[in-house]
Each structure stands twice: as structure tokens, then as C-alpha cells.
Amino acid sequence: MTLVSPGFVDSDIRRTNNQGKLRAEAKDPIPAWLRVPTEPAVRSLLRGVDRGQAEVIVTGHGKVIVFLSRHFPGLVRFLTSRAYRARPEPG
């Protein structure tokens, strides 16, 4: 079994509303420079699973977030609770 922490990967998930409908006109809230293209992310994920790694962290910012979550969980909980009160509908 492998735990995957992908970080921000190019996908439509952030443009899909809570009913599962894609809002094609909605802008992705994550800046393009922070998103990893889908194919390299999938290659990294599959390589980790093939090697039997317990955890695969796909992106550089994902590694930072996982590190902070492990070593400073209270800080991360505080910051995420302030940033995301509820998942907003894409608009």
C-alpha cells in the first residue's frame, strides 16, 4: 500500500462543483506556476508504487506541506482553518 500526497497537479478537480459537474468556465484558483503537469505527476506516482514505497510525495510544495504537517501540526491546522472555512463552489 502506498500513501500518495500529490500537491497541486493539473486537473479539473478544482473546477468541479460539489455535485460533480465540471464548470469549464471557472478559473483554476491555483496559479499555473505552482501546478505540476499531469503526466510527470503520474509517472512519479507510478514509479513510487512500482518501487513499493510507503509514501510518494509528488511535488516540491507537497514535500514542504507534509514536512510542516508532521513537525508543526498545530500551526498547519491553524493556517488551513483560517484559509478554508468551507470548500467554495467554483464560479
Of 42, 41, 79, give the one whose Cα is nearest residue 60.
41
pLDDT value of residue 17? 86
pLDDT value of residue 91? 61
What number of residues does the chain have?
91
Helix axes 60-71, 73-83, angle to 10 degrees: 120
Q: The domain containing residue 21 runs over which residues?
A: 3-83
Binned at pLDDT 50, 70 and 90, residue 6 comes out as confident
Q: Is 88 part of any domain?
A: no
pLDDT value of residue 30? 86
Q: Is 38 part of any domain?
A: yes
C-alpha of 65 from chain center: 10
The 10s digit of each residue's pLDDT in 32-91 is 998 999 999 999 999 999 999 999 999 888 899 899 999 999 998 888 887 666 566 666
Domains in the chain, number: 1
pLDDT value of residue 37? 94
Is the torsion defined by CA of 75, 3, 12, 10 positive or negative? positive
Q: Is 90 part of any domain?
A: no
Q: Is 89 part of any domain?
A: no
Residue 22 neighbours by CB distance under 10 Å? 12
